[in-house]
Structure 1
């Protein structure tokens, strides 16, 4: 037995209005067409009672929109940070009555091309091109002809709007924490960014150097290590065993901070009594360290939301590059000025 599909005509007949009036109401044009609130109520009730679902393909032909945005990313659909970014994007999409269609390339250019073709076939209203790590990228040629916003990345060869964290300002914030705490001894940076075309590490380091220079200070040294716990532990442990005695450490991410904590403890140094530590990312890991590390956080939820809001913006093409502030997540890893500082 087959069930007869409910049509717009059925809805109109039950509501006691014309098919045209029902169509205007369901397409959000009640006010424009001066349709009464009572008629709109009857149509909505008829839709609910009959279980009517509009034909999306027909609606797309009329409105030339699909009420969908595409998200094409490298590895952004995986992990805690990625979920925050997508949550922000999804909330902003829902607020504009859109849904997200998400595709993950896993860093494969061939798969990226297929995903772009799929988005084009779906006739999405716009595309968010996202990366998990803040990067300088070269956008695929197909996207340059579409309504596209870059998320957590930027293409300096194009004018495509981009939304990413203000890593430079974040670096200034981190250095300022140590200066405000009265740290007068050596300040070192722990970590280097091994990712090709990375923006995070260089931006943070540039901001750190600039803020210290304003105070007549400088980075004493940069201890190189990859952005992982074990690499950081090995590098900092070896450095301390060679006789280093820092007053303040700026770790370029929270995983580096964790390895640094372990190396400091293994060498008889206490955080923050002996060494003050500031980190970056504001990840869950930062909250697990004891004492909790002061961390300059990445605003992933807001990044995702702002990227979608830029797509919706009628002045989309003029949005430019938007750099969002990185808020400071408090902790107990920096000694209070009242205690005094090593110098």
Structure 2
């Protein structure tokens, strides 16, 4: 293979690039921005993702920047802890029976450094605008009119993928009826809510939420009405946080953002010499931390298929990843949303307590929730 182009220098694009470069394939990554994105975005790494990053030689550096989360918790907004799941039950299934909490913006520089060390190339300010499959390969042209030719192009350029749009690939699904508001806080949330785990899913029929720890902050995710002004919602954030736990003053908020949430899967993940991976191929709500993880799995498995030189293997990998997006990622993340916003959350409490009390039932649940079963 002469060269592979990758659109997008996020964790998915750079993982694909590093996998190929380590296999001896020349790789050029085209990134629309002037530098690597600095936003927090995804922050949870599941066990099979840690296994893949270990194979790529980047896990030790990620571990020094992240924190290990061996448990996660289901809570009731008023009644406190319902059930705590201990990922130690996965000890015989993976060498990493825990999640690692670390913002994706801390992983991408590590991936790029390793990619450059293996001879890969990253071009910034190079937003792919046009994609033209050609005999024996593909040409990608940037917004500045610069053409790049290669045997294969991997579109890892996000939910609004120019690669996917250029090929008119359908991106069908739903938009959720509420926006998600995410606030990063410097508060000592553990002292405000004693006994919480690093990751917490909080049931409430009026306002569910998610609380999770990252190395730099605690992050709070709150559902927010779809039809209200952003400024009004950001203005009432202080009161909403004090309703979670009240330190006697407003919480210290480092930054906050509002965004719409979609659940969509591309009609196909391969179109001749073009592959789609990560958010360019599938998007889902963030409940369960599946988006970045499944995208990294796309990257590693599709790149491995390309390295095999077998077109049928590439077809099979692309279709398998699409089925995982439909049957695992979409089903699990949407199910998490439905449970959290249930009008009768207490109906789930006994089920969750029984799950936590039964190690084998917890193991089976975690094998699916952490995407291990989607790979094996």
Higher relative contact order (CA 8 A, sep 6+): 2
Indicate the structure with greater strand content.
2
Indicate the structure with greater helix content.
1
- With normalisation by structure 2, the TM-score equals 0.27
The structure whose Rg is larger is 1
